[in-house]
Amino acid sequence: MDPATFSAQINPARPLLLLDADEVLLRFVEHLEAYLPTRGFELRLTSFQLGGNIYDLSTDARAEGTVVKDLLASFFDDCTHDVPLVDGAREAIESLKAHYDIAVLTNVPERCRDARMANLRAHGLDVPVIANRGEKGPVAAMLAGATDGPTVFVDDLPPQHASVAAHAPEVYRVHFIADPRLAPMLEKADDAHVRIDDWPTLERHLITRLEG
């Protein structure tokens, strides 16, 4: 779904929840880690980034940027349809639907949007999926402008929180990293309002904010 189409469907009287997919709803890094050896490479989680942490198994050399880009493109083409769900996400989303309009704002390639939506539906999450490119601030600002209620943005990447803060400072920003190996590698994003890394806690937090 394109942002304009979803924006026209937003109920202006309801709060809006915008969710990233990878490492918020879906266990992206874990699935990528299992995929790379099928292509002759290995992910070594020494820092919170992919570039510089993928190695050629045949040479033990760090993969060049162009190789990493190609590997990620192949991963999205081959695996977008079957990425595992983060623990607790389905139950929390079902609960939060009573309080928020919900959409997934993800930087999945446009060609893989339908596969991502099918993946989420297979996990019991029937929510709109918006395929974004680059920074998410402009789209978040447009969507937040379609409701008179509060908007919440959840993402694992600090630069995306900075983008939303710059374009839509009124949006409440939650820094969330699902993978317990990755989460300790980053402090709370400077431009996020809060850091929460599990769905039961996030569900309670978001409902309490509306009640309070």
For residue range 159-202, what is the model confidence (pLDDT) as tens digits?
A: 999 999 999 999 999 999 999 999 999 999 999 999 999 999 99
Contact (Cβ atoms closer than 8 angstroms) between residue 5 and residue 128: no
Amino acid 55: pLDDT: 97
What would the pLDDT profile of 64-84 be if each residue is shown by its tens digit? Answer: 999 999 999 999 999 999 999
pLDDT at 5 over 90: no
Distance (Å, whole) CA 63 – CA 24: 26
Length of the chain: 212
Residue 211 predicted with pLDDT over 80: yes
Q: Give the C-alpha separation, 193 to 28, whole Å.
A: 24
How high is the pLDDT of residue 38? 97
Q: What is the mean pLDDT of residues 10-32?
A: 96
Query: What predicted TM-score, i.e. pTM, was given to this entire model?
Result: 0.95
8 A C-beta contact, residue 131 and residue 106: yes
pLDDT at 197: 98
* pLDDT above 90 (res 32): yes
Q: What is the pLDDT of residue 4?
A: 80
Distance CA 137, CA 160 (A): 7
pLDDT in the model for residue 188 = 98
What is the share, in percent, of the chain residues with pLDDT greater than 70?
Answer: 100
**Residue 51 banded pLDDT, cuts 50, 70, 90:** confident
CA torsion angle 44 47 49 52 (round to 10): -60
Long-range Cβ pairs for the range 86-89 (8 Å, 24+): 86/23, 86/24, 86/25, 86/26, 86/27, 86/178, 86/199, 87/178, 87/198, 87/199, 88/198, 88/199, 88/200, 88/203, 89/24, 89/25, 89/123, 89/125, 89/199
- Residue 191 · residue 173 · CB < 8 Å: yes
Mean pLDDT of the chain: 95
Is the model's pLDDT at 152 over the cut of 90?
Answer: yes
SS3 55: strand
- What's the pLDDT at 9? 87
Model confidence at 8: pLDDT above 90 = no
d(CA 102, CA 124): 14
Q: Read off the pLDDT band of 7 (50, 70, 90).
A: confident
**Six token digits for residue 189:** 């994003």
